[in-house]
Amino acid sequence: MSVGLLGLLDDVAAIAKVAAASLDDVAAQATKAGAKAAAVVIDDTAVTPRYVFGFSADRELPIVARIAAGSLRNKLLILLPCTLALSYFLPRLLIPLLVLGGVYLCYEGAEKVFEAIWPHEAGDHDSHAETTAVSAQALEDEKVAGAIKTDFILSAEIMAITLGAVPDASFLMQALVLSVVGIAITVAVYGVVALIVKADDVGVALARREGTSSAAAASRALGRGLVRGMPGLLAVLGAVGTAAMIWVGGSIIVHGLEAFDVDAASHAIHSAADASARALPFVAGAAKWTVETLLYGIIGLLIGGLMIPAVGGIVAPAWKFAKRMRGKRG
């Protein structure tokens, strides 16, 4: 084997090692960024199944697939280039937009809390269009479009949080991390959604299994448990998602304000968390995290609560007015 070929193989091996290290770095950065976006992911997983329920069983998975495809388009074809362009040309806008995203999370979470406590008083501030579909296909198209619009808002927050987690990375690294997180989160969310919407069918099939063996009896018990447990699972998932949105939203706002030297809330939270860690040294880490999470959640709930009347009294009427004007022009 010639010396030149040996040298070439050495170069290829070196490049492969650099590429492997880069991939490891991308994976680590994507994991870090994805963890920060977990609250939005949980809420996305909890929200999406309601767009599928009510359709025939043979249409459930195709509908989930259509929504997942729309979600990927949202993330990779629209939000990723827009987010990268913002980071490259107007990086100073990133933190204000993150703070606005945090306010949105707080508002969404607080509205769900408000709806759970006073269901007859909480208005639908999102101004969803009334269903006008006259056929099954038109109804499906309308539901899918509504789900993709909702996903766009949640995906925008996911991409903003992801970029905020790697602010000092290179442009290429940011692009790779955003792509990896966008694809991984979409696959994870809609994979779980597919399992959720088909769990009832699986449960019914298991519950109808015939036979007198212990395996058949266990199968029927498992099936009945799935059918009975899904409403509770969705309720728990929704509650966890709501709490996570409020907590993460409050955290984003507090940390964002620190960038503008408004750090009184941050200092107070860290002081309280450190005090709890000193008071409970045997569980210092857990105590500190619990206090920080609780205080971020309280701040998020207060901000979200203040946003409810603002959205209901200003934003929603303005949105309805704009829709009416657009309808007249059409």
47 band by pLDDT with thresholds 50, 70 and 90: low
The runs of H, that is alpha helices, within 3-135 are 3-36, 38-47, 57-72, 80-89, 94-117
127 band by pLDDT with thresholds 50, 70 and 90: very low
- 138 to 12, 34, 95, 103, 106: CA distances (angstroms): 55, 35, 40, 34, 34
Residue 49, pLDDT above cutoff 80 = no
C-alpha span between 168 and 174 (Å, rounded): 9
C-alpha span between 271 and 275 (Å, rounded): 6
Locate the domains of the chain by residue range: 3-329
Q: What angle do CA 237, 240, 241 make, to 5 degrees?
A: 85
Predicted pLDDT of residue 328? 66
Instruction: Give the model confidence (pLDDT) of 191-234 as tens digits.
Output: 888 888 788 778 888 888 887 788 888 888 888 888 788 778 77
Residue 276, pLDDT above cutoff 50 = yes
121 band by pLDDT with thresholds 50, 70 and 90: low
Residue 300, pLDDT above cutoff 90 = yes
Instruction: Give the model confidence (pLDDT) of 155-172 as tens digits.
Output: 887 887 777 777 777 888
Predicted pLDDT of residue 254? 92
Residue 4, pLDDT above cutoff 50 = no
Q: Write the DSSP symbol of residue 90.
A: -
Residue 308, pLDDT above cutoff 80 = yes
Would you state the structure tokens that stand for residue 94, as one six-digit string?
């990133």
Q: Write the DSSP symbol of residue 135.
A: S
Instruction: Give the model confidence (pLDDT) of 62-103 as tens digits.
Output: 888 998 999 999 999 999 999 889 888 888 888 888 888 888
Instruction: Give the model confidence (pLDDT) of 230-248 as tens digits.
Output: 778 777 877 877 888 888 8
Mean of pLDDT over the chain: 77
Predicted pLDDT of residue 5? 43
Whether the Cβ atoms of residue 193 and residue 66 lie closer than 8 Å to each other: no
Would you state the structure tokens that stand for residue 273, as one six-digit string?
């968390």
Torsion sign over Cα 78, 258, 240, 187 = positive
Instruction: Give the model confidence (pLDDT) of 318-329 as tens digits.
Output: 767 776 777 666
| Amino acid letter, residue 169 | A
266 band by pLDDT with thresholds 50, 70 and 90: very high
Predicted pLDDT of residue 23? 47
Would you state the structure tokens that stand for residue 32, as one six-digit string?
């870090």
Predicted pLDDT of residue 126? 47
- If phi > 0 it is left, if psi is from -120 to 50 it is alpha, else beta; for residue 280 that is beta
Collect all residues with Cβ–Cβ distance below 8 Å to 74 and sequence separation of at least 6: 148, 151, 152, 155, 156
C-alpha span between 240 and 238 (Å, rounded): 5
